[in-house]
Structure 1
C-alpha cells in the first residue's frame, strides 16, 4: 500500500493517483541487484543460475526470453531458455559454412554482434582458435623408406636367401688325354671336408667345405704338365688354413693364392728352382720365349652355400640350375678381349690369333697376372662344372646341356657316371686336346611348393648378365 502525502489515505501500490484526493502518488525505487535490462524498461527478476565454464576460457552465454505478466498490481517474471535455432538474419551475420549456433549452447567471446534479445555472439570468421597438435606418425616398418627417400641398409644374412636347407654336397672329377695328344698336361685337385650329424630326424649336414682346382698346362709348351702340377700343389698348400677357418676366403686372399702359384712357375721358368723341385732335367731350366711353361687355372672354394671363384686363362666354370646353364667365367683370350672392345663375336673369332691366351700362370711375373674373382650364393639345387677347353670347345657344353648335364641335377644321379659320360662326349665331338672336368652338386631339401625357376625376371637377369659378361642357355 502507498500512503497519500496530502490526505494520508492508503492506496494500492498499483495506483498512480490517490483514490481519496486525486494527488499523484510517488512510486517506490526498485533494488538494482534484482533488475535485468530489456529494451528501456527495467523490471525486477531473479538472479539466473551460474553457467559452467568452457575449457579454453570461452564463456557460455545463456540467452533468456523474459515474459512479463501483469497480475493485478504485481508483476510476475519467468525465465525460459530459448531452444529454437536463431537464424543468421536474427544474429545479423552471414553464413560461414559451419554448424548453426544454438542459443542454449556456448558462444565464444570475440567481436560482439547484438542479437534480437540483446545477447552477444561472435561471427564464425572472427573466431580465434589455436591449431590442434598433429597426431604422432606411425612407426615405419623395417625396410621402409625413410623421410629422405632412401631405403635403410639391411645387412646381408650369412644364410642362403632361400629358406631351403642345404642337405648334401657331392663332387666327382676326371681327366682324359684325348685322341691326338700323347700325354696329359691337365691336372686337377679336389679336397672336401663334410661334417654330418645323426639326429632323430635322420642324418643332417652340419657344414661342407671344398677346394676344387683345375689347371690346363699350356698346349704346345714344353712341360705343361709340370706347370699345372706346380700350380695345384701351391694352391693346395696355400689353402690349408682354410679348413680351420670359419669364413670363406676374400678377394685379396684368392688373388694372393693365384699370385703365389704364378710365382712358383715363373721362378722355375727363370731358373730359380732346382731341377729336383720342377722335375725337369737341368738343361731345361731357365726357359725363354715359347718354351716357357705355363698353365690356365679355374678354382672354386666352397663353404656351405657360398662359393668363391678365381680363374686365369680359358678354363671355365659353368652353373646349372633348373632355370638354365650360365657360363660364370670369361675367357682370357684375344677373341673375348675383342668382343669386350665392341667387335661382334663372328668377327672377333675370325682372327687367326683369336684363341691365343692373354693371361696364364708362369710365363710372366705377378704384375702381369690379374685373376678374375667372383662370388656366388647358392640357394637352390645347383650343379657347378669346372672344365678345360678340351671339353668346352665348339660349344659342346651348351649343345648337350639337356641330355648330359640336366639329369645330373637329380639327387639320385651318380656324378662319377656323369663325369665318365662327359669325357666320352668330349672325345666324340672334340678330342683334339686333353679333357678334364670337375662336378659339384648342391642338394637342397624339397621346398613346400617346388619352384624350378628363380624369381628374377628374365629382362633383369639378361641385363645383369650383360654387365658381368655371363651368358645363360635356357632349358626347354
Structure 2
C-alpha cells in the first residue's frame, strides 16, 4: 500500500492511503486520481521522477502520492492541449489538464477532475464518485433531467465545435453524468466534421428509454436534427428551453439563505459586503419575488474598497426587481443581470471620477451573485469572488476568476497549475469601478435545477488555498443530509477560513435550494403528480424564501407476462374402443400422454396453490363490492396528500398541501375539527395508540396530536434527517418513520420509551419514500422512488430478511402495503406495476399492471381484494382499481378523480373507501353491505 503525503504545507507527513485525515495534523487527505490520455500505460516507460510521484492504478489511471505539491510536467504545451485550455471556463463539464507527461518520449496529457466509472479505477476504490454513462443513467432519470442533460450538451456543442472537438459528444463511452451534471471523460479531435445530424441520430437511440412526458419532444428534436430542420445549437437550445418551460408554473421548492462576513484575524477594516446583510437576515419575498444573494470584495490595496463593495450591493439590490424578473423570458433575465452589474460599475466609476481618483487610488470591487427562479439558477460574476455548486454528487466551481492566471489559460498560453506560479497570477484583469462599462464583460450563466443544492458564494478569504475543495464534504454536504443547519455551517466556514487562511476578510453566503413535491404538465396540459415528497426547511438564524415548483417524468410501462393457459379436464374414453389404424393409434397414444401430463400438471398446480398465500383469495373468490361515490369533500386549497381511518372506522384524518390537518366523522363525512388550518404542506397522517392519537409529518416536523381534544401533544424526536415517509400497523401500536438519508425508525408506543426501539441505516436506498409495518409489528418494509428494491427487515432481530426486486422495475417503488394477515406484501412502482411477494419466503407471486404511477395501495380487511390509486399525464390514469390479486384481474375501476389519486384508506369492515387526490378533494366511497 502506498503512502500519501499530507497537502498541508506545514505538515507534509506520510499517511496510509486508506486514511481520510492526516494522522499528524488532522487535515483532510486528498485522493487525486489522474487520467492519462492515449494508449494504456501498462508496460510503458516514463521517467523515474514520475514513477516515484505517481502510482499506476489502472491502464490509464495514476494516483498522485503528493497532491499538495506542484505537478511534475514536461516543458511545452502540445497542440492537443489547446481545446482544454481554451474551454477552461467550461470545467463544470470538462476535465482539466494537470500536467504533461513524457511517455516513451512522447508528450501525454494528464487530466484531473475526470468523471470515471467504478471499473476505470483499476485497483483503487473511489470514496466519492457516483458517475454513470449517459446511456445507462438516461433510462433511470426523470423527464426533466433528461431535458436538462440535452440542454447542457446543446450549450457545449458550439464551443466544442469551434475547437474541433464536438465529436467527443458523439462517442457514448465518453458521455458521463454525475447526478444533474453532464460531463465528458476527455476530448477527441474530429477535424471539424461533427454535425448536429449525427447528434440527432445518437439521441434517437435514447428515445425508447425517454420518459413519456418528454418522449414526444425528444422524437421531434431528433427528427429535426436528422432532417437538418434544426441547423444550429442555438435553435436546439431554444427548443429544449421551450420543453423545460412547460414545467415552470407547477414547480415547487424552497430556498434558505444565510450570510456572514468577518474582517479576519489580521485586517482592521472589512472591505467585504454581502446581501442579505448578516444583521437583517433574509427578508421574505412575496410569492412573486425571487431569492437572490450577492458577495462583493473590495479590492485590496485600493483605497475605499469597503465603499465600493457597499455601493455595488446597494445598486444591485435596489435595481434588481425580483417580481418583474419572475415573469419575463430567461434571455431577458440574463440581459437584465448584466445591465444591473454594469450600472453598479458606472456608479462606482462615477464616484471615482468625482473624487478624482487615479490609477491605484481608484476604488473597486468584485461581485458575484445568484438569482433563483423556479427550476433554474442565474449566476453573475466579475472578479475573483467565487460561486460553488454543491450537490450530493460533488462540489463544482461554476465561476471563473477574472485574474491573470485564468486569462493565461484561456488564451492557451499556460497550464493552470503553472500559471498560478507567476508573480502576478492573482492580479485582477477586470473588476467593478476600474474602467468604463463599455470595457466590462460580466459573466452571466444559467443552469437548470432538479437536485437539492447548496450554492456557496464567497470572497477569496475562504476560497484561497483550495479550502472549499478540501472541506466541502465535511462542512457543506451535511446541510444536504440534514445533519447541520445553514447558520451553523456558515459560521463554521468563517471559522475555517480564519483558522486555515486568515490573511484577508472573509464573506460567506449559503443558498440552500431544496426540491419539494411537484405536479407536472404533460403535452395535453394536465397536471402530473409529484415524484418527490417535500423536504423540510433548514432552520437557522436567517429568514427563508418561498421558491418554486418542479416535476418528474415517467418511463414507458411494460406489459405483465401472460399467464399460462389452464389445461382442459381429461375426458374418459370408451372402455372397449374399436381397432384403429396404426397412425390413429399412435395419435391416440400421444393424446393419452398429453392428457396424463395435463392431469399431473393440474395436481401439481393445486398442490402448489395451497402453499401460495394468494390461494386464500382464490378459495374465497368474493363477489366484488360495487363502490359508489357517497360524498365529495372539497374544502381544501391544496392537494390531498394523505389520509387515514381510525381502527374503529368512525373517524377520518386528512392532511393537505395547504397545511391543514382535519378530522371528519364516518360514514357520513361530517366535519369534526381542524387540528391545524395552515402551515407547511402535510405529507403524512396516521392514527396511533388504537386511534387515540394522530401522528403527522410535514417538511419540518414530526408531530403528535390528541384526537378527542385536538391538542398538539408535541414533537416526536428521533430522526436526524428530513422525515419523508411514515406508517403504522393496524392497531397503531407501532409507528415507523423513514427519512431523506435512508434511515428507518420504529417506536413501540405501548412502552414509555421516547426513543425508537428500532433504527437502521439504509444509505443504499437514499430517501425513503414508502413504508409498511406488518400487523404484528415484527416486519418493516421500506422502498424508495429512486431504487428498484423493497427492503424487508425483521424488527426483533434487527436483520434484513429479504431484498425484494424484479428485473422489469424501471422507475423505483412508490408504495408498499402488507396484507392484513401479514402473509403478502404489495409494492407499487412508478411504471404502474404492482408486485406481490410471499412474506415468508420472499418469493415473487404475481405482477399486476395499473394505469400509471401507483401512489398508494392497500388490501381489504378480508385479505381478498387489493386497491390501487394511480395517476400520470394520461387522462385515463387517475383511477382507483379494485383487484382480485390471485387472478390478477381488475374487478372495478373508479374514475371520479380528475387528477392523480395520491392517498387511499379502507375502513375496517371493507365497505367504505376514502381517496384523496391532486384535484384538491377527498371522496368517500361506499359499497352495500
Compute the TM-score of the two structures, normalised by the length of structure 2: 0.30
Equivalent in 350, 353, 365 of residue 270 of structure 1: 353
Corresponding residue of 1:385:
456
Unaligned runs of at least 5 residues, structure 2 = 1-214, 231-238, 277-281, 517-531, 534-768, 770-783, 788-929
Give the aligned partner of residue 287 of structure 1.
357
- Which residue number corresponds to residue 174 of structure 1? 260
Describe the shift of the 1:425–1:143 C-alpha distance in structure 2 as closer, same or farther (beyond 3 A). closer
CA contact (8 A) 1:143 1:151 kept: no
Verify the 8 A CA contact 1:208 1:302 in the aligned structure 2.
no
Say if 1:383 and 1:439, in contact at 8 Å, map to a contact too. yes
Q: Quote the Cα distance in structure 2 between the aligned partners of 1:241 and 1:141.
A: 34
Decide which of 290, 293, 296 is 1:215's aligned counterpart.
296
Task: For residue 362 of structure 1, give the secondary structure of its aligned residue in structure 2.
Answer: coil
Report the Cα distance in structure 1 between the residues aligned to 2:384 and 2:334, rounded to whole angstroms: 20
* In 1, Cα distance between equivalents of 2:494 and 2:373: 27
Deviation at 1:289, TM superposition (A): 1.4
Residue 306 (structure 2) aligned to one of 225, 238, 244: 225
Tell me, in whole angstroms, the C-alpha distance in 2 between the residues paired with 1:397 and 1:450.
32
Asked whether the 8 Å contact 1:164–1:380 carries over to 2, the reply is no
> 1:351 corresponds to which residue?
422
Number of aligned positions between the proteins: 289
2:227 is aligned, of 149, 152, 163, to 149
Matched, 1:254 2:337: yes
Q: Is the deviation greater in 403-412 or in 343-352?
A: 403-412
Change in Cα spacing, 1:157 to 1:177, as seen in structure 2 (3 Å) is same
Partner secondary structure for residue 456 of structure 2:
strand
Residue 322 of structure 1 and its aligned partner are, at CA, apart by 1.1
**Separation in structure 2 between the aligned mates of residue 436 and residue 373 of structure 1, nearest angstrom:** 21
How big is each residue's C-alpha offset from its partner over 1:263-294, in whole Å with a ceiling of 9 and x where there is no partner?
Answer: 000011111xxxxxxxxxxxxx2111111100
Distance 1:332 1:420 in 2: 27
1:302 to 372, 378, 381: 372
Aligned to 1:436: 507
Gap change, CA 1:415 and 1:421, over 3 Å in 2: same
CA distance in 2, matches of 1:321, 1:159: 25
Find the counterpart in structure 2 of residue 239 from structure 1: 320
> 2-side partners of 1:142 and 1:351: how far apart?
50
In structure 2, the CA distance between the partners of 1:151 and 1:265, relative to structure 1 (3 Å rule), is: same
Partner of 1:364: 435
Distance 2:351 2:436 in 1: 11
Higher CA-based Rg? 1
Q: Deviations over 1:402-453 (max 9, x none)?
A: 111110113463111111000000001001000001101111234653559x
Separation in 2, partners of 1:451, 1:175: 39
Task: Give 5+ residue unaligned stretches, structure 1.
Answer: 1-139, 196-205, 272-284, 453-476
Q: What's the TM-score, normalizing by structure 1?
A: 0.56
Superposed counterparts of 1:312-323, under 5 Å? 312-323=382-393
In structure 2, the CA distance between the partners of 1:245 and 1:323, relative to structure 1 (3 Å rule), is closer
Matches within 5 A, 1:107-186: 143-144=218-219, 145-146=222-223, 149-150=227-228, 153=239, 155-158=242-245, 166-186=252-272
Say which structure, 1 or 2, has more relative contact order (CA 8 Å, 6+ apart): 1
- What RMSD over aligned residues (CA atoms) do the two structures have, in Å? 2.6
Does the 8 Å CA contact 2:255/2:291 hold for their aligned counterparts? no
In structure 2, C-alpha distance between the alignment counterparts of 1:186 and 1:317, rounded to whole Å:
15
